[in-house]
Amino acid sequence: MRILLVDDEGELVSTLAERLSFREIDADWVTSGEDALKKAETKTYDLAVLDVKMPRISGIQLKGMLEAKYPDMKFIFMTGHGSEDDFRAGSSKAYYLVKPINIEALVGTIKEVLEK
C-alpha cells in the first residue's frame, strides 16, 4: 500500500510519514496541492490523506482533481478547524481525522478505507 500525505505543515506530514514507515506503510509527503498533483503523476497511490485547508488548492479541491485522474484512489481528510461534529455535518460520507492526529487512529482509518 502506498499513501500520499498532503498538508502545508511540513513538520506534521514528515513526522506522520516517518511513523507510518515504522508500521510498514509506504508514505510520501508533500506540502502543497500542486506538489501532490506532480507526485501523483510519478507514482501510484492507493490513498491520499489531505489537509482540508491549504493555501491555493484546498484539500476538497485537490480530492476532486486527483479523483478525476485516478478514480481508484481513496481519501482521508485531516482538519484542524472545528470539531468532529462540524466536519461530519459537512462531509458525512468522507473519512476524516481531527488534528492533532493520533497515529493509531490514522493507521486504523487507513486500513478501514482500503478494505472497502
CATH number at residue 12: 3.40.50.2300
Which residue is listed with cell 485537490?
62
Average pLDDT per 10 consecutive residues for the chain, totaling 116 residues: 97 97 97 98 97 94 95 93 54 77 96 92
The pLDDT of residue 94 is 76
The pLDDT of residue 80 is 84
> What angle (nearest 5°) sits at the alpha carbon of residue 64, between those of residues 61 and 66?
110
Distance, first Cα to last Cα, the chain: 14
pTM: 0.90
Which residue is listed with cell 482538519?
79
Instruction: Determine the structural domain holding residue 20 and report its residue range.
Output: 2-115
The pLDDT of residue 87 is 52
**Burial of residue 55 (number of CB atoms within 10 Å: 0-12, 13-18, 19+):** exposed
Please tell me what DSSP assigns to residue 30: E
The pLDDT of residue 82 is 57
The pLDDT of residue 93 is 59
The number of distinct structural domains making up the chain is: 1
